[in-house]
Amino acid sequence: MSVLVGKKAPVFNSKAVVNGSEIVENFSLEQFVGDKYVVFFFYPADFTFVCPTELIAFQDKASEFASRNTVLIGASTDSEFSHWKWLQTPQKEGGIKGVTYPLVVDQTHAISKAYDVLAGWDEYDEDGNESFVGEPKAYRGLFLIDKQGIVRHQVVNDMPLGRNVDEVLRMIDSLQFTEEYGEVCPANWKKGDKALVATQEGIANYLSSIV
The pLDDT assigned to 209 comes to 77
Statement to judge: residues 142 and 173 lie in one domain:
no
Is 8 contained in some domain? Answer: no
Is 2 contained in some domain? Answer: no
Is 185 annotated as catalytic?
A: no
- How many beta carbons lie within 10 A of that of residue 100, not counting itself? 12
Statement to judge: residues 112 and 185 lie in one domain:
no
Of 51, 99, 105, 172, the active-site residue reads: 51
Statement to judge: residues 157 and 210 lie in one domain:
no
CATH number at residue 54: 3.40.30.10
Statement to judge: residues 84 and 94 lie in one domain:
yes
User: pLDDT tens digits for the chain (211 residues)?
Assistant: 689 999 999 999 999 999 999 999 999 999 999 999 999 999 999 999 999 999 999 999 999 999 999 999 999 999 999 999 999 999 999 999 999 999 999 999 999 999 999 998 888 989 999 888 888 899 999 999 999 999 999 999 999 999 999 999 999 999 999 999 988 999 999 999 988 887 877 677 767 777 6
Q: How far apart are CA 78 and CA 151, in angstroms?
A: 24
Q: Parallel, antiparallel, or unpaired: how do β-strands 14-18 and 103-105 relate?
A: antiparallel
Is 7 contained in some domain? Answer: no
Is 3 contained in some domain? Answer: no
The structure's pTM equals 0.92
Q: Name the residue among 42, 30, 3 with its Cα closest to residue 152.
A: 3
Question: Domain of 178?
Answer: 164-211
Domain count across the chain: 2
Q: How far apart are CA 137 and CA 151, in angstroms?
A: 22
Write the DSSP symbol of residue 93.
Answer: G
- How many beta carbons lie within 10 A of that of residue 203, not counting itself? 14
